Amino acid sequence: MYSLSHQTNDFGESEWIHFTGSGYLLRTDAWSYPVLRLKRLGLSKTFRRLVVTLIRRYGVSLIHLDACAECLPGLPTFDW
């Protein structure tokens, strides 16, 4: 995510994946098929499932992934 959010091309992933200092903002409405785009970029199936759940169940278009936030109940977490 860090390298994707810091691209310097005119058009790239930094158009919809933004680094915030403590996490990332993901603009899901920037692409027609954002989950397919995430798959092509190599993001995990678990992460893509989270994005699908947030889009379909809650209709979100902006996801803030924050390292300081509480974990969502019932979702897997990873200790990196």
Question: Taking a C-beta distance cutoff of 8 angstroms, is the pair 18, 24 a contact?
Answer: yes
**pLDDT tops 80 at residue 13:** no
Indicate the domain borders of the chain.
Answer: 2-66
**Region of poorest pLDDT, from 4-8, 12-16, 43-47, 54-58:** 4-8
pLDDT of residue 23: 86
Length of the chain: 80
Neighbours of 4 (CB within 10 A): 19
- Average pLDDT across the chain, whole number: 83
The tens digit of pLDDT for each residue in 17-54 reads: 888 888 889 999 988 899 999 999 899 999 999 999 99
The pTM assigned to this predicted structure is 0.74
